[in-house]
Amino acid sequence: MKRVLTGIKPTGYAHIGNYFGAIKPAIELSKHDDYECFYFIADYHALTTLNSKAEMKEYFYNIACTWLACGLDPKKVVFYRQSDIKEDFELNWILCNVTPKGLMNRAHAYKACVEKNEANGLDRDDKVNMGLYNYPILMSADIMLFDADYVPVGLDQKQHIEIARDIAHNFNIKYGETLKEPMEYIDENNNTLVGLDGRKMSKSYNNTIRLFGDENELKKAIFRVVTDSRLPGEPKDVDCTVNKLYKLFVSESEAKEFEEDLLKGLGWGDAKKRLFEVANRYLSPMREKFNYYMAHKKEVDAILDAGAEKARIVARKVLRRVRKAIGAE
């Protein structure tokens, strides 16, 4: 049996890009009997960007309840909170010592900050904290602590998995074969979802459609999708954002029908109304579950506590192996 592991950091409200790009495929994977899945909320990774305790609590439960509402079955998936697994932070420290500093200098999130600072004439490390700098090492520990074979992630995370492999390799060269070298699992068909403005949907661009806002919020977001100035009656470009979003929520035949209507000149207002209807139809049952969990956070905590118990059994075993390898036991 292969082990699959992934995490999402609670740095904002889950959006439909996260759902179609990460959550839905991970849940589908967990239904296969050949995989044993470990999914977690990377709360300590979120510390690099969060500004307050209130934000942490808000986003943490938003992500936790989202996973559950979208169908994660805690009986099949080991579902836990990163910060509950103290072994992770011990492994993190050990891994720091087989990680060349230069490897962290090349990590994309840190590099992007440096480049932005330089472009703005600031000190290259302005506002860079060590949490951001060491981010890929903690992520490596998250993965190696559970002997994960596959890590489902979006393309933007590929470099982090390559770094994890390098770190595991360095460790194994120095201390002998101890850590499993993980592989990224990137669904090539899973294209990056576009946001309201046509760029990648992302919290950082403020162009997201929140997964479980209320109906009104969903409607408002959909009406903000940027369109061109073609009038009702004029054929529309089927490559438009409205059509790309519509396809996510419907069967192939419904998608075809919508596309034909766009070509026949369906007006943007009516097109968006129809997009709202199908999105709402798709999301409503999950939204109900989401609202249930948000109103029963103790239940969510209990699920995560039970997940952490199970996760720790594996984590302790692996850490023991690592401690023995370095001579700490």
CA atoms of 34 and 111, how far apart (whole Å): 38
Q: Which two tokens stand for residue 160?
A: 């982090």
Q: Which CB atom, from 185 or from 212, has the smaller least distance to ligand TRP?
A: 185
Site string for ligand ADP, 148-187 (x = CB under 6 A): -----xx-xx------------------------------
Look at residue 25 and give the partner it binds from ligand TRP, ligand ADP, none, a contact being a CB closer than 5 to 8 Å depending on partner kind: none
Q: Which residues contact 144 (CB under 8 A, 6 or more apart)?
A: 91, 95, 164, 167, 168, 179, 180, 182, 318
Site string for ligand TRP, 5-44 (x = CB under 6 A): xxxxx--------------------------------x--
CA atoms of 53 and 57, how far apart (whole Å): 6
Task: Pick the binder of ligand TRP from 30, 83, 157, 241 (CB under 6 A).
Answer: 157
Q: Is 45 in the site for ligand TRP (CB under 6 A)?
A: yes
SS3 state of residue 114 = helix
Q: Which two tokens stand for residue 182?
A: 């993980």
CA atoms of 295 and 310, how far apart (whole Å): 25
Site string for ligand ADP, 195-224 (x = CB under 6 A): -----xxxxx--------------------
Look at residue 140 and give the partner it binds from ligand TRP, ligand ADP, none, a contact being a CB closer than 5 to 8 Å depending on partner kind: none
Q: Is 139 in the site for ligand TRP (CB under 6 A)?
A: yes
Q: Which residues contact 118 (CB under 8 A, 6 or more apart)?
A: 124
CA atoms of 203 and 193, how far apart (whole Å): 12
Site string for ligand TRP, 218-257 (x = CB under 6 A): ----------------------------------------
3-state DSSP helix/strand/coil % of the chain, to nearest 5: 60, 10, 35
Residues that bind ligand ADP (CB under 6 A): 8-9, 11, 17-18, 21-22, 153-154, 156-157, 192-193, 200-204
Residues that bind ligand TRP (CB under 6 A): 5-9, 42, 45, 139, 142-143, 151, 153, 157, 160
